[in-house]
Every structure is written in C-alpha cells, then in structure tokens.
Amino acid sequence: MTQQTPFKCPRCGDISKIPPALSRTDNKTRICSDCGRFEALEQFVNALTPQTDWVANNFNADFPLLPYADTSGWSGSETSKARAIAEDSDGTTSKRQKDTIKALAGAGILGLTWKELASHFGWHHGQATSVLSVLHLENRINRLVEKRSRSAVYVLPEFVNERQTSPHGRKKRIHTCSNCGHTEES
C-alpha cells in the first residue's frame, strides 16, 4: 500500500491522509473523503455548497469565543469552572469550537445534533452541548426547530434554507399554583 501525502481540504480546512475525493462543484478540486460524502448528500437533495461558501475560505480566526465572564462557561462547581478556564487558555476550547464549525460545514443542510457531534469527536454530553450553546449564543450557528431522534438540529447560517429556527436559551416554563391558580414564568 502506498503512503498518501497529507493535504489540507479546501472545503473544511482539515488535514487529511486519506485518499481524496473530487469535489462535485467542478470535478477537479481535491477534497477530503468526509467532505466528498457530504457533497454526495448535498447533491442528492440539489443543495450543493458552492466553493465560495466553503468554511475553509471564510474561517475567522477569532476563537475561542468566551461569552460568559471571559470563559466558555461552566456548570456551577469550582471543578467545572477550573476546567473551563484551563481549556479556554490551553487551546482546547478553540479547537472544539473550530472542529464544530467544520463538522457543521461538512454536514451541510443536514446539520448535526449534539449526539451526532459527540459521537463524531468522542466528546461527552457536556462538551458537545457547551460548544453548541456558545456558538449559538454568538450567532455562529443556528438551532432548527425541527428535531432528529428527539434532539435539536444545528446548522451553519447558510444552511438554514428558510427553515424555522429557535432562539438561544431554554423555553420559558409556566408554573401554576395548585392551590390558588396563580401562574408565573420561570
């Protein structure tokens, strides 16, 4: 078996050693095999992403995004806070955010749920939902109203395609007092 020369995929920006595919946009540009599979799905639904919209062409270097008191956020415990601060400063958060953007670019109009993202990268629930929440809060991604396997689907803004999206945050819940009937939102 011959050794493949690593190359940078112009669609997602990843370095790949796997034999490349040809982009369906022009049938000559080499892209990684993951992007090749995503392009096949996009072409199937007649929504092929043009090269000008490829993430690698439009990737901003302003990561990590730290919207919560100059951190990516934590669950409330001191241990969680210390882990967030360490990951924000050692590059882990930046890499996770960039990897998520690239994965969503590769997924195209199909998008990803937190479960699919976690499975793809080997992350636990908190890591996947945290990065999705920060990117959504910062308007880098959209959360669709539609669900897949009972989980929200996230897409890059260019892949919303007039589908309904939901704002960042949780739905407000209305509690009704069983004694007096008074209601309040939480």
Write the pLDDT tens digit of every residue in 114-138: 999 999 999 999 999 999 999 999 9
Domain layout of the chain by residue ranges: 1-59, 60-186
49 or 56, which is more confident? 49
According to DSSP, residue 56 is labeled G
Q: The tokens 């100059």 sit on which residue? A: 70
What's the whole-number mean pLDDT along residues 42-61? 75
Residue 112: predicted pLDDT: 97
Residue 112: Cβ-neighbour burial (10 angstroms; 0-12, 13-18, 19+): buried
- Cβ neighbors of 135 (< 8 A, separation 6 or more) are 65, 97, 100, 101, 141, 154
According to DSSP, residue 71 is labeled B
- Gap between the Cα atoms of 129 and 135, Å rounded: 10
3-state secondary structure of 138: coil
3-state secondary structure of 92: helix
CATH of domain 60-186: 1.10.10.10
What's the whole-number mean pLDDT along residues 155-160? 92
Cα Rg of the chain (Å, integer) = 19
Residue 174: predicted pLDDT: 63
Cα 72 to the center of its chain, rounded Å: 15
What's the whole-number mean pLDDT along residues 28-38? 87
Residue 178 host element (H or E): none
Write the pLDDT tens digit of every residue in 158-180: 899 999 999 997 766 666 767 77
Residue 4: predicted pLDDT: 67
- Gap between the Cα atoms of 186 and 169, Å rounded: 12
Given a contact cutoff of 8 angstroms between Cβ atoms, the answer to whether 105 and 60 are in contact is no
**Amino acid occupying residue 135:** L
What's the whole-number mean pLDDT along residues 4-22? 78
112 or 38, which is more confident? 112
Phi–psi pair at 134, nearest 5 degrees: -65, -45
pLDDT above 90 (res 183):
no
The answer to pTM > 0.85 is: no
Q: The tokens 């997924």 sit on which residue? A: 107
